[in-house]
Structure 1
């Protein structure tokens, strides 16, 4: 009797888990009358970035800290709809060479897939979170988010971001780099500020030329600085240059980072506070900022709004792919023909191969950009396309998502490379192989590029064999298509997969 209400309530919830370089956070919320209402927040200082060695490998100790935290989060997220839970990792796992080892363990502990997002995608989500939680004062604004391993800078207006950047400097990495023995000196602080200013030179001119009317900061470092200013009577709400100088001077009077005792800054923040403070000082100097407001909304809030947008047909990934089609002169008519055929074939076998509804999106997207590499050269265009998809900044896509898309395009023609799919998480490998096989068939069937009408054949699945049946007599009337399918069958057979073509006299096995 009581199970149904509980299930219905759980199905209305959404959740975001942020595997940051300094802290792991979980946010559980629900959609309510067009808004997101927070139900629970949890956070823990894991300091994953502090566990990176000189070769960028995560230590066992750092991984253990993270897994312990995620096991606790996993308890809270039990029985939620996986399509309404997003788990993303940022700079520390972008940098870690052994990230897949950690991700595999993390997915077991948490119970949900873990996705690594690129720096600019992180910036996009941060801005989305800020835009939904800050009053719109009109005009452009610059948003600064100092994380554990990276700092994001966004210029935007209302809900649209005009510039997105992620720089390799964060409170954990800078504390570790410039205050490695825990000692605080004015020289070390000056060097940290100068290093951050040098990093900011990469974007300073572009951002100043764009301009903005207001400045907003988000996340732990900026929140702690504002709280310290207010708690110690050095200023009102927000961060001014005078208030920031007071915080800096106070911190420089301590000998080590463990000695730092400043009202308004939580004890677990103090060990990385000095590094973040140096970055913020550089930001104020480089952009001549006089006052910065603080926003509660940031990455997690942005991820939840992005999740809500996907269910409301506002998926930014659709816009990203449309932009890439235009940028690389994709023949959209041909892409649409291949997409339509691929989806029609997929619908016939999706239940038999155990594919979830999400798999259909990846097949659809791969079909839209399978010829993207033609803008570079016809020879090996599937390889060129895969490179573009894996290494471009594609807003809305995670690193793993871009890799999946790239591998589908890489394998859509010529020799199949099933071993490539080993680069994907284990949970995706089997379905990805079927998506490759279906996409290849759709491409072959539409080889004529609408020189004649092409029917959608019947497709059946039997173990690893695909049985294709065209309308009676059609395949005999189109010998070039039969030849193309025969060549495709040979290519798939070379990789251990069988195709049987039915629809010509006495049936034909190829």
Structure 2
């Protein structure tokens, strides 16, 4: 039996499931395997998360205490109900650090397998690191060169350097948000000396690997999974980092900027040390199941930033369970997951592919005629512009009236594997601006993609007839902020609607203070 079928087969959903038995939380992801022309993608269908605090239940002699044991089995039974009837070839369950070290782990695994109904693998730290990297690499934007992925779990911390989808350096350090909090902040007590000791202990662990990692280098830093996400959310919701509040507002999902910076971590530490117990700490967005463990996670993250010289880190929810599923599929992926995502969105929203291609190619041709940016990659901008062109009509699946608003909403708020929050913000801005009034973007100081928008709007006007026939030859230029469009007078005389639309377009750009000249020859 084939593991997956085309997404167009409405009568069959190819579902796979990953179960991650972590040291702090147990998680399960059920996903649909979708085939697109650019490759294979996982579409999340259902997620479950239970805070079991397994690491906190370890006794001094490394045995799982009865309460933690019971919490774990109770959660696993619920997971088992959700995936009952799945083919075993489509389920993979893995257990991490706490079940690597607990002396009674073999008995727990036997009981857990009976409750889940599927085998459970206790994976080594390096294997955990490999799967974490695979998961993160499939969900974040591609980068030319190496990327560093950091995952602070409950009982261990994984640091991986890789390129593309291939991990190169992998380490699993024996420290996590739960174990570190138990060691340095027993019973939730906080003081500056204890926090300093927690930082120094974490730095000593990282120093063992820092030389090799710094020598390898990286172009991108990604924080994956729960601790990184929790820290990013706290930084954003409590305004600990002005960068997270100013430049990325359009890319937020549920109030989160998805960015951790050195500045934000230091501000959070300063706030924490105002209190003598975690239960007294007042912070927007601090969840009860994170309250006792986030001081340890914060100390470890600060140590990683300091020891490896990191200034900022993007955050993704993708982690071990995503990597487990891609590893389960065992299939090669496109070099850039964003192409796969765009293909899948075009398929999902029944995009007119011929029109999308028409607008995409014309917009890219126009951008190629304009001056190259000083601080951005022309290739990256053409890619973003073409993604916007390919997706500009996805809102038609909701309503023709104001469809560009629907398109922008989908792009800004949907799960788009491979796209960063900033990518999605730029994409959504192009989609909201490709039709209608420009005033909605004129007062947005963070919007800088005017050239791309100019090209997209011009291509959309010229392709209104949805045909390749009789498209004119157009020459573009830009000088000191003035856009100039030159095309045949003979052609426009035969296409009065397009001529009228171009004049309206020029007037719209003039209204927002961006001169637009049309020359007919």
Cα RMSD of the aligned pairs, angstroms, is 1.6
Q: For 1:26, which of 7, 25, 28 is the aligned residue?
A: 28
Match of 1:93 in 2: 99
- The alpha-carbon distance between structure 1 residues 182 and 233, as it changes in their structure 2 partners (threshold 3 A), is closer
Match of 1:38 in 2: 44
Whether the 8 Å contact between 1:11 and 1:80 is mirrored in structure 2 is no
Residues 220-256 of structure 1, C-alpha deviations (whole Å, 9 max, x = no match): 1111111111111223131111111111111121221
Q: Does the alignment pair 1:119 with 2:140?
A: no
Q: Distance in 1 between matches of 2:205 and 2:105?
A: 26
* Partner SS, residue 297 of structure 1: coil
**Cα distance, 1:26 vs. partner?**
0.5
Whether the 8 Å contact between 2:13 and 2:32 is mirrored in structure 1 is no
* Partner SS, residue 188 of structure 2: coil
Whether the 8 Å contact between 1:24 and 1:46 is mirrored in structure 2 is yes
Gaps of 5+ in 1: 1-7, 313-510
Match of 2:480 in 1: none
**Cα distance, 1:263 vs. partner?**
1.2
Q: Does the alignment pair 1:184 with 2:186?
A: no
Whether the 8 Å contact between 1:225 and 1:265 is mirrored in structure 2 is no
- The alpha-carbon distance between structure 1 residues 63 and 9, as it changes in their structure 2 partners (threshold 3 A), is farther
Whether the 8 Å contact between 2:23 and 2:97 is mirrored in structure 1 is yes
- The alpha-carbon distance between structure 1 residues 243 and 199, as it changes in their structure 2 partners (threshold 3 A), is same
- The alpha-carbon distance between structure 1 residues 11 and 83, as it changes in their structure 2 partners (threshold 3 A), is farther
1:129-168 equivalences in 2 (<5 Å)? 129-168=135-174
Give the TM-score taking structure 1 as reference length.
0.58
Q: For 2:291, which of 240, 262, 270 is the aligned residue?
A: 270
Q: Which has the higher contact order (CA 8 A, sep 6+)?
A: 2
Gaps of 5+ in 2: 1-9, 245-256, 334-521
Q: Distance in 2 between matches of 1:9 and 1:170?
A: 44
Q: For 1:294, which of 288, 311, 315 is the aligned residue?
A: 315
* Partner SS, residue 172 of structure 2: strand
Match of 2:69 in 1: 63
Q: Distance in 2 between matches of 1:171 and 1:280?
A: 10
Match of 1:356 in 2: none
1:95-494 equivalences in 2 (<5 Å)? 95-235=101-241, 236=244, 237=257, 238-309=259-330
Moved more, 228-237 or 189-198: 228-237
Residues 87-141 of structure 1, C-alpha deviations (whole Å, 9 max, x = no match): 1000000001110111111011111111100000000000000110001021111
Residues 5-49 of structure 1, C-alpha deviations (whole Å, 9 max, x = no match): xxx978721000000000000000010112101000110110101
Q: Distance in 2 between matches of 1:261 and 1:271?
A: 13
Match of 1:411 in 2: none
Q: Distance in 1 between matches of 2:66 and 2:287?
A: 27
Match of 2:366 in 1: none
- The alpha-carbon distance between structure 1 residues 206 and 311, as it changes in their structure 2 partners (threshold 3 A), is closer
Q: Distance in 2 between matches of 1:143 and 1:271?
A: 25
Give the TM-score taking structure 2 as reference length.
0.57
* Aligned residue-pair number: 305
